Amino acid sequence: MLRRRLLVFPPFFLILLLTGMPPQAAEDGGIVNLRQTGKAFAAVAKQVSPSVVFIQVERVSRGGPTSPPPQAPFGSPFGDDLFKRFFGDQFPAFPNQRQPQPPPQHRIVGQGSGFVFKADKGMVSNISYILTNNHVVEGAKKIRVTFKDGREFEAKVTGTDPKSDIAIIEIKDSGHPALSMGNSAKLEVGEWVVAVGNPFGLSHTLTVGVVSAKGRSGLGINDYEDFIQTDAAINPGNSGGPLLNLDGEVVGINTAIFSRSGGYMGVGFAIPVNLAKNIADQLIGNGEVTRGYLGVVIQNMTPELAESFDLEEPKGILIAQVSEDSPAEKAGLKVGDLVVSYQGEKITEVADFRNRVALTPPGSRVRLTVLRNGKRKLIKVKIGDLEDGQLVASAAIETADALGLTVRTLTSDLARQFNVKPGEGVVVTEVKPGSVAGLGGLRIGTVILQVDRVAVNSSADFQRVIKQRSGDKRVLLLVSDGGMSRYVVLSWR
């Protein structure tokens, strides 16, 4: 019978087996690298902390959750609400009812972060400018900033831009070092980054992580989004603080977190410094932000759309609508053009293209390379000045609802009913549940302008073109909902 034998080794031998190498060799390898990494983080902290500020703001609010509940009116033991339930709003108040008093004012204290930076223009010799988020200082009656050395200053707002969530505040003191600005366009996923700020009021806290992703948009945080995503810990109070590379250069402005708990869950978002710097310089130099205007509705190219346009790859930005009398129309851009580059740089995302147009100074002449019917075409556009309600380069509305549908020719009455132009396209008057059209997001009131890039201006046109394409089991529609155009591919088996 075999017996198991217990082998006993001296303690030092076990240490050698577990480590796999002498302690000195381990120190010479990984530990040395870790020490060097730690020293790099420490160097960044030492370099940038004197420029980072803790921002405290005071706001005044009337009412709020601390306001006392309204009292029953004097002379009515049940209150007017009981009588209004039976007699309606015409029921008069009791004559001896006391007049309601305005709710008391309440002082609200908020906090955030910011940092000193040097503007390209509009500088004043005895002023230090601090870059932060608009939501940190919005509505503030009083702003106080505190530096790491304990010095405190009253600050005032230089300018704000709610659409990008950027704000500049200033203090009357020029003896503060400004942080160096990096180039967020060169930032790569996986790079180390450092966040410095004041989470939960804990002054000048440093956290580290990596760039998790770039170009995050569609989050609904700002009007103009192109976020850097990072796993460096960001918490309430970090807003407005710098996100830095290992050279101590600012690459982003910490702005928001994704959280189900209200605290850090591993996903934070920062505004790229290239975008923030452009906005900040305009606020200091001009007092306001002007944005470029192109006048198109655009959408990302999908594999289904690429196949319908006979493209090998789903790359580029598809123009779904061109506004009348816009810079885009004057330059000759057309619905169905595929924008592949802007000023010689490749374009792959709607958000990136929209931001580039918006950041282009009005009056500038830019070069767009488009694919039209499979051929490259260079188009020069003079960028306009964006006004409220105009289209910079707006993303088309993405829906998913779908081909058992009924269409009608757009008469004047129908055009008025659905608020569209008469004589252009056909209007959808019925969509059957579970039909092919449901998968494309068509609904009652949707106007179909083109079928496979052929204009349809009557129900007969529509039926004829659809019948011609019935053997393809796929159709490309240009549709309009609420004045916004988009391409839709409907397919069936």
Q: What is the set of active-site residues?
A: 135, 165, 239
Residue where the block lists tokens 């204290």: 109
Query: Cα–Cα distance between 231 and 254 in angstroms, integer?
Result: 12
Query: Cα–Cα distance between 119 and 178 in angstroms, integer?
Result: 10
Select from 194, 201, 199 the least CA-distant residue to 236: 199
Two structure tokens written together for 224: 């103009």
Query: Cα–Cα distance between 174 and 82 in angstroms, integer?
Result: 63
User: How far does the chain reach from its first CA to its final CA, in angstroms?
Assistant: 70
Query: Cα–Cα distance between 119 and 129 in angstroms, integer?
Result: 8
How much is the pLDDT for 226?
A: 83
Sign, CA torsion 250/251/253/258? negative
Q: What are phi and psi of 439, to 5 degrees?
A: -70, -20
Q: Between 312 and 154, name the one with better pLDDT.
A: 154
Do residues 50 and 203 make contact, with C-beta atoms less than 8 angstroms apart?
no
Where residue 79 falls among pLDDT bands split at 50, 70, 90? Answer: very low
Q: Tell me the mean pLDDT in the region 390-397.
A: 57
Q: Across 10-19, 32-41, 414-423, which has the greatest mean pLDDT? A: 32-41
Q: Between 189 and 124, name the one with better pLDDT.
A: 189
Q: Tell me the mean pLDDT in the region 27-33.
A: 72
- Per-residue pLDDT tens for 399-426? 333 367 888 777 776 777 677 777 788 8
Is the domain defined by 47-63+105-289 classed in CATH 2.40.10.120? Answer: yes
Residue ranges of the chain assigned to CATH 2.40.10.120: 47-63+105-289
How much is the pLDDT for 469?
A: 65
Q: Superfamily assignment of 405-491 in CATH?
A: PDZ domain (2.30.42.10)
Do residues 428 and 409 make contact, with C-beta atoms less than 8 angstroms apart?
no
How much is the pLDDT for 35?
A: 85
- Per-residue pLDDT tens for 53-64? 999 999 876 555
Q: Where are the beta strands (DSSP E) in 373-425?
A: 375-382, 384-385, 394-395, 405-409
Where residue 99 falls among pLDDT bands split at 50, 70, 90? Answer: low
Q: Between 264 and 268, name the one with better pLDDT.
A: 268
Least confident of 98-107, 273-282, 406-415: 98-107
How much is the pLDDT for 73?
A: 36
Is the pLDDT score of 330 beyond 50?
A: yes
- DSSP class of residue 25 equals H
Where residue 256 falls among pLDDT bands split at 50, 70, 90? Answer: confident
**3-class SS of residue 72:** coil
How much is the pLDDT for 9?
A: 44
Do residues 362 and 293 make contact, with C-beta atoms less than 8 angstroms apart?
yes
| Secondary structure (DSSP) of 149-181 | TS-EEEEEEEEEETTTTEEEEEES---SPPBPB
Least confident of 70-74, 258-262, 429-433, 486-490: 70-74
Is the pLDDT score of 172 beyond 50?
A: yes
Residue ranges of the chain assigned to CATH 2.30.42.10: 292-395, 405-491
**3-class SS of residue 415:** helix
Q: Superfamily assignment of 292-395 in CATH?
A: PDZ domain (2.30.42.10)
Query: Cα–Cα distance between 189 and 229 in angstroms, integer?
Result: 9
Return mean pLDDT, the chain: 79
